[in-house]
Amino acid sequence: MSSVHPPQEVAAAQLARSLGAITAMVEGVSDEDAQVRHDADRWSLTEILGHLLDEEREDFRARIKLLLDDPCAEWPAIDPEGWVDERGHRDRPLQELLRLFQDERQRSLSWLRALDDPDWHSEKHHPQGALRAGDLLLAWVAHDLAHLSQIARWHGGRASTTLEPFQDDYAY
């Protein structure tokens, strides 16, 4: 029989694993390579990492904290996709973005692990309907996993470009 863990412990464990995976997939990539968009409508690796940093600082942890502390408090406006261009993430050094993201994630993990019996059912009315703190917690975990997939696709595009004229259809 498995033991039941509080949601913040489960989420913190997954977010820590995601941090390790993101770090492993970003280390060793040059700044020049990291700025490449393999498709015009997809982000570069630096843009993905800058977005993750913004979300870590200004969205998930901040909004969950507000929801747990005061569900009626107004949330600051965010523009995660707009910030990527506005903040020039594509042109920033990759290792700097990685270090900043790692630092913010460690703050988030410490904060989550220090929570003492939070009310994950605390909710706020949102344009998309009622939103509970636990919904945001799960969205945070899912957001990381979605961007890990995006980082993997970026690496696939990089490998295809680097290894031209070869084809990758054998493995699929």
User: What tokens appear for 27 in the block?
Assistant: 């280390």
82 vs 96: CA distance, rounded Å: 20
Instruction: Report pLDDT for 3.
Output: 59
pTM: 0.91
Instruction: Report pLDDT for 168.
Output: 80
Identify the helix (H) or strand (E) that includes residue 60. Answer: helix 60-69
Is residue 94 within 8 A of residue 25, CB to CB? The reply is: no
Instruction: Report pLDDT for 172.
Output: 64
Instruction: Report pLDDT for 38.
Output: 87
Instruction: Report pLDDT for 22.
Output: 98
Q: What is the pLDDT along the chain (172 residues), one digit of tens a residue?
A: 445 899 999 999 999 999 999 999 999 999 999 999 988 778 999 999 999 999 999 999 999 999 999 988 888 889 889 999 999 999 999 999 999 999 999 999 999 999 999 999 999 987 778 899 999 999 999 999 999 999 999 999 999 888 889 888 887 6
Q: Which domains can be identified in the chain, with CATH numbers?
A: 11-167 (1.20.120.450)
The CA-atom distances, in angstroms, between 29 and each of 36, 90, 114, 128 are 11, 14, 34, 38
